[in-house]
Structure formats: C-alpha cells, structure tokens
C-alpha cells in the first residue's frame, strides 16, 4: 500500500501496483513546475488528483502514518509550491 496525502484534504491508501505510475507522473509535475508552466502543472496535478481519488481509499483517521507522496492543493500558486519545497533536504 502507498500512502498519499492531498494537502487540505487528507490521506489516501493506494495499491502498490500504481507506484511506478505515480513516480512517472510525479516527475512530469516537477518538470512543469521547473518550466514555470502553470497550464501543464494544472493538467498534471488534476490527473494525479483524479487517479488518487479513483484508486485510493481514505486512510482511517486513527491511523498515523507519514505519506510517501504529498500533493499540493490545486489552488496553491507555483510560487507557493516552490516555497513548500524550499525546505527540501539537499
């Protein structure tokens, strides 16, 4: 099982089988951010969100686990996303 958090929404459990797909989509999301391409970023993010909502089950509220993937909420600006990642351990 993969635990994914959607900021402002909560955590989901997804089948391990879609791990590779998530990683591939995750890379495209970062590319869009690096290219400062809001349209591409929005498209990628909404596709990942759809995937998480379609394949994921909400993680029980009494389960405390860190998430392997954290999705920014869609309203966050690209600058906001960069600020979120600014503390990324080098």
Partner 1 sequence: MKDGDIVGLMQRASLVFKAKASKALDKAEDPRETLDYSYERQMELLQQVRRGVADVATSKKRLELQQTQLEKSVQKLEGQARDALAAGREDLARTALERKKAAQLQLQGLDEQHTQLQAEQDKLIQAEQRLTAKVEAFRTQKETIKAQYTAAEAQAKIGEAVSGISEEMGDVGMSMQRAQDKVATMQARAGAIDDLLDSGALQDISSPGQDSIDRELAQISSSSQVDSELAALKKELGTGADAPAPSGEAPAAAGDAPAGGAA
Question: Which residue in 55, 64, 72, 66 sits closest to 21, CA to CA?
Answer: 55
Q: Identify the three-state secondary structure at position 57.
A: strand
Minimal distance, residue 85 CB to partner 1, in Å = 5
Please report, as residue ranges, which positions from 1 to 20 form the binding site for partner 1 (by CB under 8 A). 4-5, 7-8, 10
Total chain residues near partner 1 (CB under 8 A): 32
Q: According to CB under 8 A, which residues from 53 to 82 bind partner 1?
A: 61-72, 81
| Residue 2 or 17 with smaller CB distance to partner 1 | 2
Q: Which of residues 26-45 bind partner 1 (CB under 8 A)?
A: 26-27, 29-30, 33
Closest CB to partner 1 among residues 17, 81: 81
Contacts of 11 (CB under 8 A, 6+ apart): 3, 4, 5, 58, 59, 65, 67
Q: Is the dihedral of CA 60, 42, 46, 67 positive or negative?
A: negative
């Amino acid at each position: 099982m993969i635990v994914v958090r959607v900021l402002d929404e909560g955590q989901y459990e997804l089948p391990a089988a879609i791990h590779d797909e998530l990683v591939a989509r995750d890379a495209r999301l970062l590319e869009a951010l690096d290219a400062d391409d809001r349209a591409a970023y929005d498209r990628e993010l909404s596709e990942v969100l759809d995937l998480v909502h379609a394949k994921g089950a909400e993680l029980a509220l009494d389960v405390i686990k860190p998430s392997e993937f954290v999705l920014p909420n869609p309203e966050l600006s690209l600058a906001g996303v960069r600020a979120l990642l600014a503390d990324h351990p080098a």
